[in-house]
A = this chain, B = another copy of it.
Amino acid sequence: MAKNRRDAKATKEKIITNAMLLFSKNGYDATTIDEIAKVSDVNKAMIYYYFKNKSALYSAVMSSVLDAIYQEILSSDKCCPSPLGDLESFIKTYAYYCEKHPYFPALLLRELSDSGTHLPEEMFANMRQLFGLLSKILQEGEEQNIFHNVEPMVLHFMIVGSINLFITTKPLRVATSQIEDGLNTCDGCSIEKISDYIFQKIKLMLEVNDEQNTTCA
C-alpha cells in the first residue's frame, strides 16, 4: 500500500545516493542542494527535513561510503588466511570497489587533501577503521617474520594513493595518451592488472629483508 512517497527510509537513501554521486563528481562546494533535490526528485525542503544541513548530508554520505568499503573488504573471501593473502585481498578488494564506485576515490582524495575541513568525527572514525585493517595485516606479517621493515602509514598511502589516483585520473591519462608524446599513462590498463601489479610490488618490497639501507650520499 506504500505510495513510494511517505517512505522515509527510501527517500533518505535516495538522497544519500544522489548526493554521493554529485559530491564526488563536482566536489562539496560545487554541489548544490537544489541539484541534489532535483536529481532525487524530492522537494528541496525535504533534504532539510532529513538532514540538519549540507554539511551533515555530506557527512552522512561519506560515512555510508566508507562503511560500505570497510564491509566489502571485511567480507571478502580470503583464499589463504595469511598476512600475504590478507594483503592481497585488501588491495584487490579495495581496487575493485573503487573501480565499481568511481565516485569514491574522488571523495576520499578530496577529503584527505582538505585534511578534514568538512570532515566530522564520525567520518574520521571510519577512516581510521580502514587504516586499522591494513595496519593489523602488516603487523601480523611482521610478527610472523614474513614482512620486514614495515611502516604501515606509508604503505597505506602507497596503496590507497596509487589506486585512487589511478581511478580519478582516468580522463587525464586518456587525454595524455592522445597527445602522443611518448608517455605511457597506462590508459588502457585494467583494474585487475593494476591491482595485481601493486600487490606484487608491495609484496616484493615487504618480503626482502633490507637491513642495511644504502643511500648514495
Q: Which residue numbers of A lie inside 8 Å of B, CB to CB? A: 26-30, 79-80, 84-85, 88, 105-106, 109-110, 112-117, 119, 124, 127-128, 131-132, 135, 149, 151-154, 157-158, 160-162, 164-166, 168-173, 175-176, 179, 181, 183-186, 189, 194, 196-202, 204-205, 208, 210, 213, 215-217
Interface of A, helix, strand, loop or mixed by DSSP: helix
| Interface contact B79-A216, CB-CB below 8 Å | yes
| Interface contact A27-B114, CB-CB below 8 Å | yes
| Interface contact B151-A161, CB-CB below 8 Å | no
State how many copies of this chain the complex holds.
4
| Interface contact A153-B173, CB-CB below 8 Å | yes
Chain B residue, CB-CB nearest to A151: B197
Q: Identify which of B29, B170, B196 contacts A29 (C-beta below 8 A).
A: B29
Provide a sorted-by-A list of 5 A–B residue pairs whose CB atoms are within 8 angstroms.
A27-B117, A109-B113, A110-B110, A110-B114, A153-B166
Report B-chain residues with C-beta under 8 Å of the C-beta of A157: 161-162, 165-166, 169
